[in-house]
Amino acid sequence: MAKITEELSCYGNLLVEKGLTTGPGGNISAREGDTVFLSPSGFSLAEIKPQDWVVVNLKNGKRIGKDNGLRPTCEISMHLGCYLARKDIKTVVHTHPILATALATAGVQFKGLFPDFVALVGPEAPVLNYVVPGGEELRKAVVRELKKGYNAVLLKNHGAVTVGENLKEAYYRSLLLEDAARFMMAILSIGKKIRYLSPAEVKGIENLEAEDYRKLLLKKM
Ligand SMILES: [Zn+2]
């Protein structure tokens, strides 16, 4: 248990350091079997100590072990929904990245832009219409996309959700969404049209042996 809470605290720090969320915004979690470790409500992701993570049972959402007196993130339903939707999901990272959220809100699509995006995020990150945060509606909307196999989802007027087999993978996916947004902003700022990779170019990246190797490295934590 110590290892996973330390790792969560470390990645919480990194997400704030990279500017992907501000103040008490955003929430992250990880799971080990049926045990889920969630960020506590009201904390900046940069100030969560290993003992502050809220530990619950995946199946019923009830606390496991000693109550540390902290409330879990208000997005607990969405986090548990992600784990219940797909067995391969071991971490969920929800952030409020400014550029990615702004472009998604403006109706810009997030799909194959450069090789790392395709290799690590996938051919596309769907953009969802705004729904009230912290409730069943958000859980349903995100879970619907994850079940289609997507690993990153953008929420208009809100933020982003990425999932992964480990924290590093979900963290990289979050970073790559904001990188993609910067990439597109640069093109739009000079008045040009965004060029997305063609389906054949996306396939070419997916078939690269070197990418399989890199992905394999990512899975090893
Ligand atoms: Zn949020």
Query: Which value, in Å, is the radius of gyration of the alpha carbons in the chain?
Result: 17
State yes or no: pLDDT of 176 exceeds 70.
yes
In the chain the domains, ranked by start, together with CATH numbers, are 2-219 (3.40.225.10)
| Distance from Cα 14 to the centre of ligand 1, integer Å | 17
What per-residue confidence (pLDDT) applies to 2? Answer: 64
Length in residues, the chain? 221
Q: Distances from the Cα of 77 to the Cαs of 21, 49, 113, in angstroms?
A: 20, 22, 32
What per-residue confidence (pLDDT) applies to 219? Answer: 75
Q: How many helical (H) and strand (E) elements, i.e. helices and strands, does the chain have? A: 8, 9
| Distance from Cα 94 to the centre of ligand 1, integer Å | 6
Mean pLDDT in the chain? 94
Whole-prediction pTM = 0.94
| Distance from Cα 133 to the centre of ligand 1, integer Å | 6
Q: Which of 50, 19, 38, 44 is nearest to 78 (CA)?
A: 38
| Distance from Cα 168 to the centre of ligand 1, integer Å | 20
Q: Which residues pair with 73 in a beta bridge?
A: none
Q: Which of 45, 40, 1, 2 is nearest to 170 (CA)?
A: 45
| Distance from Cα 19 to the centre of ligand 1, integer Å | 14
pLDDT tens digits, 203-221: 999 888 777 777 777 776 5
| Distance from Cα 178 to the centre of ligand 1, integer Å | 15
| Distance from Cα 159 to the centre of ligand 1, integer Å | 6
